[in-house]
Amino acid sequence: MKCVFKVGIAVAAVALTSLSAVTASTAGGLYERTSVKDGPAAYHSGAGRCYLRGDVGYSYSGDPDSTSDSPLYGTVENTGVDMDGAFMGEIGIGCGSGSRGFRADFTLGYRGDRDVDGHKSDVPGFHFPATFETQVSTLTAMANLYYDFGMIRNFVPYVGVGFGVARHDLDDVSFTGVGAGVGAPFNNLRGSDETNFAWSLMAGAAYQISERAVLDFGYRYIDMGDVSTARGDICSTSCGTGSRDKLSVDDITAHEFKIGLRYHFGHSAPKYESFK
């Protein structure tokens, strides 16, 4: 976990360096337009280079992988694993060059509880299949870098990439439908928290609604790593001998669609600035 946090700090440092570089090396406003008569000309909204942002959306989870690991039976692949989607929210701060240039921001995001279920595979010779159920919620801290392509019919399309960390909160895992003839059923497993490296790819378009406010319509593919239960179970007096089993939910990914508001602040730039 310490290693993951060191990676996150390093990524954030790179992002802050990028912010300083693009802010210092560019002048002008948020968006550009062109003039046929006078040649290319930059259009400025008057907004500052830096901004606060807030986003809401929905995170459509991909189907993760899952394994069960037992000191007695070894590791087996679980089947039919499914993870539901969830609503998400995000806040952040950033700076950048406006359109036709780079910008960067740092965001904190939260994805609510997503139900996870699947089938615990048979162990050869024992035949005790079961269905497992749990929930996962996730916090992310991401450093993001974008490139704005310039205004097209009042919209500014962009692409981006992000790196950071994802902290998963995995609930206790319960089992149902255990086969007969094996003795005690599976014991419920204790949940845990786990932090992983995360990365994302983004695309979207921005639309200016006032001098300082910009609507942001975005898509993101994000990979948030994995999470496992603790080594141990929750065992009542009726569930037999305790175990040291562990269940993992691996390759947690999502396709995310969101809408956000960026509010630019700081000193205003001249409204127009020609460049040739």
Of 185, 163, 166, the closest CA to residue 175 belongs to 185
In whole angstroms, give the CA distance from residue 193 to residue 201: 25
Res 246: pLDDT: 86
Q: What are the tokens at 175?
A: 């089992």
Alpha-carbon distance of 51 to 215, in angstroms, equals: 12
The helix/strand/coil state of 2 is helix
Please write the tens of the pLDDT for every residue from 75-125: 888 888 999 999 999 999 999 876 678 999 999 999 999 999 998 866 555
pLDDT in tens, 21-46: 433 333 344 554 444 344 333 444 44
Identify the structural domains of the chain with CATH numbers, from first to last. 2-274 (2.40.160.20)
Residues 244-270: pLDDT tens digits?
Answer: 788 899 999 999 999 999 998 876 543
Residues whose CB is less than 8 angstroms from the CB of residue 198 and which lie 6 or more positions away in sequence, other chains included:
140, 142, 162, 163, 164, 165, 166, 222, 223, 224, 225
Q: How many Å apart are CA 13 and CA 7, to the nearest integer?
A: 10
- Whole-angstrom Cα distance, residue 50 to residue 44? 14
Q: What is the pTM of this model?
A: 0.76
Give tens-digit pLDDT for 263-272: 988 765 433 2
- Strand order of the sheet with strand 74-77? 74-77, 65-70, 246-250, 227-228
Q: Is 99 helix (H, G, I), strand (E, B) or coil?
A: coil
Residues 6+ apart with CB under 8 A from 272: 41, 42, 43, 44
